[in-house]
Structure 1
């Protein structure tokens, strides 16, 4: 058997985890399969790499040698892959737009505008509930742009490798069935929904923690939260099974309404990110402009958002003119980390 990169990754995973059981879980393998693989690797390298004990594993002198080399080789190969991908992208004749996005109302508008502005240029998309996964793909050269969101003032992922621009920020609204008792209210106190079940889409930040904190300040804890895809969230709201959380730009949908929360306890920032050393940096300003235009169009389609913007929540001084203005604070907001909302 020839030694391969995946074998070095296995050795590193075992050493980092400190036990075969933990390493197997991280690698998605059964422990017997990992043990058998380790034995094959050890035969290839000529000796035992780990001493197995009651409390886990410990590297042998040979294991320390191999592990030291692995910690040099693996990052070097990863860097080579990143550079090769970027170099290959730079050789293309047409500008390409590989956009990764989490769930939200802006991706369709961006694709439409890019296709109109750059006829013949390839535009491809990739969706994920994970902001971190999208950002890592851009940093590694597998995508050109990340279109994601974060809760409040929380920083976006990969801050050291990517350039980020804020496009706009929205208040978080609630989705209610059209016949909900509060559906006709101009805005809703969070405490008025104390007995409700809730629904939201998943994310890898802590929007859920911010929401729980907001509920605690309102004097209750959510009895039930359904985490599911956007279509299922809408269905649960339409049939009256739950109340949903959404960005204010959520499009009009039959059978339900969106309403602002009094005091704006939760806000959401729309962000575009790219690698500063990639070809995408050349068209980043144009892409940001297209996303801002898509956001403006999405906001205009929401009657409830238009009414909200027309109340006493005036733009704060110095708010970016290209973004929907952030509301003047009427109570303490939550500006921690991010998780997806519809």
Structure 2
């Protein structure tokens, strides 16, 4: 590589003297290396003229290959160094279902682990995230489990409950007759179409079960696009279960449902081989703090917590 760089330097500067200055070495050293290259290749690469060193036809051919080899070697060295740096730097691969608490959780993780590189994978499917944990493509994942539809956790994974029973609220149009009530009843929504995301694990089945137990058989529409779903709710075309920490969109309100018929369990699942117990405890504490801070900013959910959960209000007070 040193000889090839000498060749390029002479070609770029047009003289052995200038090439030596560019390379930070002596002129005799550059001349010696250039002669070695020419002897090895069996031909002259430059003609020495009064105006400087000019490439021969062989020199042009060799120079083109030399530049490619030097560029490839520089890329190889850079990639190797990056890989070595990555191997030395701790990495944390996080997965999560959609939650407004994720951004605050990540900020806390970055503060706690400033030298750890983190990545985040968001997926509406808890099962998809658990498959990634099982395949060792994620180290830790926040997932939700619809009531009555237990998740199948990876055999070598551990889990801890974040929220044992998170109620699901309902989003409805501001113009809906029940929108003025602080708490809505399922019978208030008997004439409405309900909307679910078909890619969310068990959401459709869990909704159907609750409505059937309430003696209701409404039309259920399946919409994947959140923007379209928000417009349909705002227009009064449908109502929709949602997380209690959700923000109402334009023209909509979010209300608790009497009796909390819809609920999910929030779990933090991790691989013990990837995370030590103290490391997991810190991540869990960061997520819980992020979630509780978010809950405290939502008046409807905060009111529900104060009325229905015996432990979370004490945590919120701290």
Per the shorter chain, which TM-score range? 0.5 to 0.7
Is 1:218 the counterpart of 2:206? The answer is: no
* Aligned-partner Cα distance in 1 for 2:172–2:256: 11
Match 2:92 to one of 93, 97, 105: 97
Contact residue 167 and residue 323 of structure 1 kept, 8 A? no
Partner of 2:230: 234
- What SS does the aligned partner of 2:168 have? strand
Deviations 1:281-302 (A, max 9, x none): 5511111111111110221121
* Aligned-partner Cα distance in 2 for 1:225–1:190: 17
Deviations 1:61-99 (A, max 9, x none): xxxxxxxxxxxxxxxxxxxxxxxxxxx9xx944432211
* Aligned-partner Cα distance in 1 for 2:271–2:192: 42
* Aligned-partner Cα distance in 2 for 1:160–1:320: 30
Deviations 1:29-67 (A, max 9, x none): xxxxxxxxxxxxxxxxxxxxxxxxxxxxxxxxxxxxxxx
Contact residue 252 and residue 302 of structure 1 kept, 8 A? no
Match 2:255 to one of 256, 259, 264: 259
Decide whether aligned partners of structure 1 residues 182 and 204 sit closer, same or farther in structure 2, where only a CA change above 3 A counts.
closer
Match 1:132 to one of 124, 127, 130: 127
Aligned ranges 1:29-48 → 2 under 5 Å: none
Aligned ranges 1:325-340 → 2 under 5 Å: none
Gaps of 5+ in 2: 1-82
* Aligned-partner Cα distance in 1 for 2:159–2:151: 8
Match 1:278 to one of 274, 278, 284: 274
Larger Rg computed on CA atoms: 2
Q: TM-score, normalised by structure 1?
A: 0.61
Count matched residues: 232
Partner of 2:108: 113
* Aligned-partner Cα distance in 1 for 2:253–2:292: 20
Q: TM-score, normalised by structure 2?
A: 0.65
Aligned ranges 1:311-330 → 2 under 5 Å: 311=307, 313-315=308-310
Match 1:299 to one of 288, 295, 299: 295
Contact residue 178 and residue 238 of structure 1 kept, 8 A? yes
Partner of 1:165: 160
Q: Which moved more, 1:285-294 or 1:128-137?
A: 128-137
Decide whether aligned partners of structure 1 residues 102 and 267 sit closer, same or farther in structure 2, where only a CA change above 3 A counts.
same
Tell me by how many angstroms 1:104 deviates. 2.3
Tell me by how many angstroms 1:177 deviates. 1.6
Q: CA RMSD in A?
A: 2.6
Match 1:199 to one of 188, 195, 198: 195
Is 1:144 the counterpart of 2:139? The answer is: yes
* Aligned-partner Cα distance in 2 for 1:290–1:305: 20
Gaps of 5+ in 1: 1-87, 325-342
Partner of 1:184: 180
Tell me by how many angstroms 1:274 deviates. 0.9
Decide whether aligned partners of structure 1 residues 192 and 206 sit closer, same or farther in structure 2, where only a CA change above 3 A counts.
same
Is 1:246 the counterpart of 2:205? The answer is: no
Deviations 1:110-154 (A, max 9, x none): 112112222242121112222122112112211111111011264
Decide whether aligned partners of structure 1 residues 314 and 285 sit closer, same or farther in structure 2, where only a CA change above 3 A counts.
closer
Question: Which structure's residues are more often helix, by fraction?
Answer: 2
* Aligned-partner Cα distance in 2 for 1:321–1:92: 43
Tell me by how many angstroms 1:178 deviates. 1.9
Deviations 1:161-198 (A, max 9, x none): 21011111311110012222111102111122111122
* Aligned-partner Cα distance in 1 for 2:235–2:276: 44
- What SS does the aligned partner of 1:290 have? helix
Decide whether aligned partners of structure 1 residues 184 and 310 sit closer, same or farther in structure 2, where only a CA change above 3 A counts.
farther
Decide whether aligned partners of structure 1 residues 115 and 232 sit closer, same or farther in structure 2, where only a CA change above 3 A counts.
farther
